[in-house]
Amino acid sequence: MRKTELSKPRSYRMRFAALSAVLLAVLLGSAMLGRFPLSLREIGNLLFSGLSGTEGTWKDGAQKVFFEIRLPRIAAAALVGAGLSLAGVSYQGMFRNPMVSPDILGASSGAGFGAALAILLGAGYFGISLIAFCFGLAAVFLAWVISRFSKTNQTLAMILAGMMTSSLFSAGTSFVKLVADTQQQLPAITYWLMGSLASIKKTDVLFLLIPTAIGALPLFFLRWRMNLLTLNEDEAKSMGVNTGLLRVIVIVCATLLTASGVAVSGMIGWIGLVIPHFCRMLFGYDYRRLIPGSVLFGAAFLVVVDDVARLATTSEIPLGILTAFIGAPIFFYLILTGGASRES
């Protein structure tokens, strides 16, 4: 008995170490790969000189490629992946349903509509992100307000209200497409909705970093209490949890993560749904491990997917297509095996 109790935490620590190592390797590998390959030594020199301000030696143009293009893109992929998978794992616990994804309350559809509208109105790249972000927040707020009027089960009311606002904003997006100019705007909207990190700049990373941090930190600190949110409402309350407040915090945080991710990268599905299942296989069900685990796993996953998007063919493959092509078979596997299961 003693032995198993002692060996458990250590094995999870090993898994965290391994996953962190994988993420680091993925980040470094992604920084090296590209149409302008960089060696490990060059990346080291670039990073060192970037941090210390001293001169180093590298190929012509390497500095520009690394700091202006590659690093922002990798950072954005990591942040979006981590954010979406964190939002997914949080919602799955809160709604007590492992098949829930971060767009359940309409954040993605809202952001999609915002982006389409912004493109129609001729906004610039940053404007599109900002408007998409605001509409993502607005969609979830609308769903939340509607659910407050319901007299039935709050959780169910929220899911139904989310479905409603999602379909409303999807219809809005279709309408915008209908009236958009077919030569320029319609392709731009369509391409945006498929998801891409191709035109990421340094400022976008900053724009992404702030809401991601604001969303992720409370979830990280409340990770123990998230476990009790997966229980029935009465049980959680009787154990001293303010379920109403905790639920609002989770919704606000997950919405910030989802809306900012979608606003910068476009519609990327499946990550928030599939990554939490892998994390449960690796780390069990305890949110003390699931929260950090899904951040590491989600980041590594989207960075790899984005590498495929930019390297597999001569033109960019939209991320939404890739994550669905990868996510759907994985989901099929989960359906067959009944999801993440503990053997004991």
Site of interaction with another protein (CB under 8 A):
1, 4-5, 8, 93, 96-98, 221-225, 227-228, 230-232, 234-235, 237-242, 284-286, 288, 341-342, 344
- Closest CB to another protein among 201 and 237? 237
Return the half-sphere exposure (C-beta side, CA atoms, 13 A cut-off) of residue 219.
34
* Residue partners of 242: CB distance under 8 A and separation at least 6: none
Q: How far apart are CA 143 and CA 141, in angstroms?
A: 5
- Closest CB to another protein among 35 and 342? 342
Query: Smallest distance from the beta carbon of 21 to another protein, in angstroms?
Result: 25
- Closest CB to another protein among 189 and 290? 290
Of the candidates 99, 342, 86, 90, which has an alpha carbon nearest to the alpha carbon of residue 229? Answer: 90
Q: How far apart are CA 278 and CA 339, in angstroms?
A: 9
β strands within 164-282, DSSP E = none
Query: Smallest distance from the beta carbon of 342 to another protein, in angstroms?
Result: 4
- Closest CB to another protein among 4 and 152? 4
- Closest CB to another protein among 53 and 240? 240
The amino acid occupying position 211 is: P
Contact status, residue 318 vs residue 192, Cβ threshold 8 Å: no
Query: Smallest distance from the beta carbon of 158 to another protein, in angstroms?
Result: 17
Query: Smallest distance from the beta carbon of 239 to another protein, in angstroms?
Result: 5
Query: Smallest distance from the beta carbon of 222 to another protein, in angstroms?
Result: 7
Contact status, residue 108 vs residue 267, Cβ threshold 8 Å: yes
